[in-house]
Amino acid sequence: MLPTILDLASLQSAYAAGLSPLDLVEQLIARRRAADDPAIFITQTPDDDLRAAARDLMARAPGPNSLPLWGIPFAVKDNIDVAGLPTTAACPAFAYRPEQDATVVARLTTAGALVIGKTNLDQFATGLNGTRSPHGAPRSVFDRNYVSGGSSSGSAVAVASGLASFALGTDTAGSGRVPAAFNNLVGIKPTPGLVPNVGVVPACRSVDVVTVFAATVGDGVAIRKVMEGYDAADPFSRKAVPASLPASGLRIGVLDGAEREFFGNKDVEGLYDAAIERARALGATIVPFDYAPFRQAAELLYNGPWVAERLAAVKEFLATNAGDFDPTVRTIIEGAKAYDAVAAFEGRYKLEALRQKTRQEWQKADILMLPTSPTTYTVEQMMADPIVKNGHFGRYTNFVNLLDCAAIAVPAGFDADGHLPAGVTLIGPAFSDDALAPLADAMHRTLNMGMGKDRAAVIPEVSHVPQADDRSVPIAVVGAHLTGMPLNYELTAGGGRLVKTCRTAGDYRLFVLPNTAPPKPGLVRQPGYQGKGLEVEVWALAPEAFGRFVQNIPGPLGIGKLVLDDGSSVSGFICEAYAVDGAHEITELGGWRHYMRMKTETEEKDRG
């Protein structure tokens, strides 16, 4: 039986245990038929074609997980070409049937992924709310009265509903981020030019980006890495030079004063403040910054000459088929006729002047953390005031591509009633995509609010998140230094940053060390022992902080090389063997956290 949310680790484990892609396809076909939102897809891959794709994969790569995305199902926003399925951009009269896949789709299927269908969107990717489609409005997976976010609406709902492991969206103004926030997902928004746009119907060609909706940051990063890479056929494709971020003492810019606008939504404002505190607890330095020049840049996207790029994308079709457009989309695109070439240059000059002002703010912070959307609305509210309320969603997203930034949107929790989710977005300079991932992953994991519609889902310990910056020193902790444990402050006070949660190799054993305060475990390696591995956290410390930390470790504990379950090695806590003679062994519990939880429960029962 498949899990509710189809994260990569869960599916790859199921394949290793004997599930076949054909088995998966049959269960997905049943899920699609049972889905209660008829607006998710515009075109589904026919059942028999999906079965045939699974068989072809098994013939091409017979071994389970023999390709990076072997048998992983994904959905594609219907402004991205998939050979054999129509591309409509949510306008039936515009439809055409491509003969070849978009570059990103071709790279994903070559890696073993299976396309399950084309998803609904705000027509011609014009909107952030998901209601501008003749195929209906996909709804939030938590309340059908509420919008799902757009324009990549169907893609987000497909993942959050458990119909796909991941889905492709596009992002011009925030379409790869807002739907993630409204559906408790991760949204990976690459730096413009990192991922090719060949085979994508453009919205604003100069700033469009193909994005990934995923259950976890690690999944999204792994998928992005399959898609990325220079493509000479795309005039905006770039060869990336990865940007780094400080290994410790990361400065995060947050909203301050009059720039904190939530349109009356106190729940989202509270969740934003809670995310700030969570980042602080992870070792970040929180600094206020002036959002005004970023906001002014954001306003250019829809209230400036960049709207003319939307007209450039469809001008011939609009000239003959104006009546086939969604009325709101048509109003926006026809607004481009108010701009001429002079206005385009004036807009460019204004953007560059604002870019200079934002550089002053970037001197204060290494990255920014903003609300993904300051509020949300019901479908009825959005339809009653579609342009103004859609604009509210883009307040903190519209500038990101114009100013050449990378971004990762992560969940931030649910409102006071536990009803609707919100999110925050980490934003960094161009090509900081990998560097943003460790903090984004830690923010998601420490939230502990599940994945997609499954709020009880546990983020898998297996992570595809890139390692911390090479200038930092990774260290694995197993006991009292874990997140939430009494000595964790020794890591955060030294500027430490949580990189990932994972497990040791199977030949480690864990014991309770007697007479330690606070209680501590002893981790001992025993070659030949066949266990399931033990939970550890990998943290990153600056070299000088690492040195100070190690100096304070009391015997019989020390630092040695730990082998992790993926075969890699990392410095971490080990214990001298003599100290565990006669000690209570807790290996079977899987880690110190589980032991401490059981110990606390036992003590409470005894007191009761």
CA 394, CA 387: separation in Å to the nearest integer? 11
CA 493, CA 556: separation in Å to the nearest integer? 24
Nearest to 186 by CA among 345, 411, 442, 420: 411
In the chain, the N- to C-terminal Cα span, in Å, equals: 40
Nearest to 157 by CA among 4, 257, 40, 263: 40
Q: Please, which residues bridge with residue 560 across strands?
A: 572
Give Cα 263 to chain centroid, integer Å: 25
CA 526, CA 507: separation in Å to the nearest integer? 6
Give Cα 321 to chain centroid, integer Å: 37
Q: Please, which residues bridge with residue 454 across strands?
A: 451
- Under 8 Å between Cβ of 82 and 109: no
Q: Output DSSP code: residue 258.
A: G
403 token code pair: 């100013």
Q: Which is the catalytic residue, given 133, 151, 152, 373?
A: 151
Nearest to 123 by CA among 206, 42, 234, 38: 42
217-227 and 8-16 helices cross at what angle (nearest 10)? 80
Contacts of 71 (CB under 8 A, 6+ apart): 11, 15, 20, 21, 24, 54, 57, 112, 114
Is 152 assigned a catalytic role? no
Nearest to 583 by CA among 518, 513, 517, 509: 513
Contacts of 178 (CB under 8 A, 6+ apart): 128, 129, 149, 150, 372, 373, 393, 394, 397, 409
Secondary structure element (H or E) that encloses residue 585, with its range: strand 584-585
Nearest to 152 by CA among 165, 166, 142: 166
Is 77 assigned a catalytic role? yes
Q: Output DSSP code: residue 494.
A: T
Q: Which is the catalytic residue, given 175, 248, 432, 472?
A: 175
CA 219, CA 215: separation in Å to the nearest integer? 7
Q: Which is the catalytic residue, given 10, 77, 133, 248?
A: 77
Is 239 assigned a catalytic role? no
Residue-wise burial string across 189-200, b where 16 or more C-beta atoms lie within 10 A, e elsewhere: bbbbbbbbbbbb
Q: Give the three-state DSSP class for 389.
A: helix
- Helix, strand, coil share of the chain (percent; to 5): 35, 20, 40
458 token code pair: 């546990």
CA 11, CA 30: separation in Å to the nearest integer? 17
Catalytic residues: 77, 151, 175
